[in-house]
Amino acid sequence: MTARPQSLAAGAIAAAMTAVGGSAVLLATAPALGSDASAELMTPGGWEIVSTIEELEIPGLPASMVEKMAKDPKNAQPRSACLTPDSEQRPQPAMFHTLGGTCSYTKWQASGGTLEAELACTPPSGSPGTAKVTLKGSYTADNFSLASQTIGEDETGEMQLRLISQLTGRRTGGCS
């Protein structure tokens, strides 16, 4: 197997395989531009988030290795997040991914309990590549359930990773 330079796709693979534990301070809650102002988004406080891998495709790796990575029980372990209000009126992108690097919203629509969002991500440390995360699902003030698709590409635009997962989150109380 030929070694590849570290890229966002490689970082995403590592993140997908080690998306466990840790805490982050995230920002959120008031309705965002393009959303229904009468609908409450997620309540500030502590949240537990679980990501369950449903499909994982990594071109060039043997199917048996990809399957083993996707079924690793470590991937479904909950992670903690602290959600606080911000001026953007929506959660920080880190609430919905574990890629590392920098992600920003290219789409955000939250209305009537339905959420659709897209994130554009660049890798940490100036590594080559990009990732696009698409989210679609439902939310209440105290929980969410989102289908997530992540496509990681190298610097030439060639797909290096396709990850489909289910994200669930529930408010656990105050931030610790």
For residue range 47-101, list pLDDT tens digits in order.
999 999 999 999 999 999 988 888 888 888 899 988 876 655 677 777 787 777 8
C-alpha–C-alpha distance, residues 138 and 129, integer Å:
30
Domain borders along the chain are 22-170
> How large a percentage of the chain has pLDDT more than 70?
74
C-alpha–C-alpha distance, residues 89 and 55, integer Å:
31
Q: What is the CA radius of gyration of the chain?
A: 16
Instruction: Answer with the residue of higher pLDDT: 14 or 170.
Output: 170
Phi/psi of residue 130, nearest 5 degrees: -145, 165
For residue 176, pLDDT over 80 is answered with no
pLDDT of residue 47: 92
Classify residue 157 by its DSSP letter.
S
